[in-house]
């Protein structure tokens, strides 16, 4: 990559607006679209989504699990989707939530972030709960190849607070310690660091300081999970300009009509632009 991911993401968001569309082809959605729950249906789904919105949004976020469940043929569809999205000008954030140590972490990094891999995306999601330092091989590979990483920090699932809000010996929450560590790694980057954080759009005010990250925030939960673009200010405050809201079900439910998919995406995009611009 010729430029760091943070730079490319900032440019894409400035050009197309702040919106990430998740590509989550679970079995029920395939059935709703009248597609078989097999690699053929999976490929038809992926092609339709990218053809409809790949030139519209800055980022698409395929959920790897829904491709992996179809085995090697599903992975082949994912590889093709990554290529098609890139050709359409969208950045690809692969939602894999990997997290391991040592050579295993390096192996994941090679699979998803190294040039030459058929699964290489512009960025991936990772879990830091083996310790943020365990992700160093992932960070190093991402930065070497101009790619990005989004680290789970404050998620909206009900089980999350028992871990993420637990206190470290210095009194910070685990989530704040993660955010602070990422901020150090992004120090000095302009216009945006390449290491981002995942912070749910529905968590409300939690008392955490999000202003020092100097990197992007992925904000899942817009739409079916109850989050709204207008509610992002309550979560992110002065960090709002770095937020990438993510929507999935409310866009995908508009399919299989490409026109309906595009219209639903345009509506969400307009709301997100307005929410971020108005603050």
Cα–Cα dist 249/270, whole Å: 17
Burial of 246: CB neighbours in 10 Å, binned 0-12, 13-18, 19+: buried
Q: Which of 15, 61, 97, 263 is catalytic?
A: 97
Cα–Cα dist 227/223, whole Å: 6
Q: Is 15 an active-site residue?
A: no
Burial of 165: CB neighbours in 10 Å, binned 0-12, 13-18, 19+: middle
Is the peptide bond prior to 256 cis by the omega test (within 30 degrees of 0)? yes
102-113 and 136-144 helices, crossing angle to 10°: 30
H or E element that contains 220: strand 217-222
- Count other C-beta atoms under 10 Å from residue 191's C-beta: 13
Q: What residue has token string 């919106």?
A: 19
Which residues are known catalytic residues?
97
């Amino acid at each position: 990559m010729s430029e760091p991911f943070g730079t490319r993401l900032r440019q894409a968001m400035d050009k197309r607006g702040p919106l990430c569309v998740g590509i989550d082809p679970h079995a029920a959605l395939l059935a709703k679209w009248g597609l078989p729950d097999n690699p053929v249906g999976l490929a038809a789904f992926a092609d339709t989504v990218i053809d409809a919105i790949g030139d519209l949004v800055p980022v698409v976020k395929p959920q790897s699990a829904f491709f992996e469940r179809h085995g090697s043929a599903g992975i082949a569809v994912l590889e093709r989707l990554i290529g098609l999205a890139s050709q359409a000008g969208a950045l690809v954030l692969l939602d894999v939530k990997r997290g391991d140590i040592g050579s295993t972490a390096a192996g994941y990094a090679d699979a998803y972030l190294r040039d030459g891999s058929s699964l290489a995306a512009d960025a991936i999601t990772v879990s830091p709960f083996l310790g943020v330092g365990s992700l160093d091989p992932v960070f190093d590979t991402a930065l070497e190849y101009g790619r990005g990483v989004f680290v789970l920090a404050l998620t909206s699932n009900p089980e999350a607070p028992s871990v993420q809000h637990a206190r470290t010996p210095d009194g910070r929450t685990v989530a704040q310690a993660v955010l602070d560590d990422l901020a150090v790694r992004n120090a000095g980057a302009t216009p945006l660091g390449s290491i981002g954080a995942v912070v749910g759009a529905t968590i409300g005010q939690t008392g955490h300081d999000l202003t020092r990250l100097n990197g992007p925030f992925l904000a899942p939960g817009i739409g079916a999970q109850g989050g709204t673009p207008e509610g992002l200010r309550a979560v992110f405050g002065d960090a709002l300009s770095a937020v990438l809201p993510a929507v999935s079900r409310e866009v995908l439910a508009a399919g299989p009509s490409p026109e309906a998919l595009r219209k639903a995406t345009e509506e969400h995009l307009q709301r997100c632009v307005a929410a971020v611009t108005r603050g």
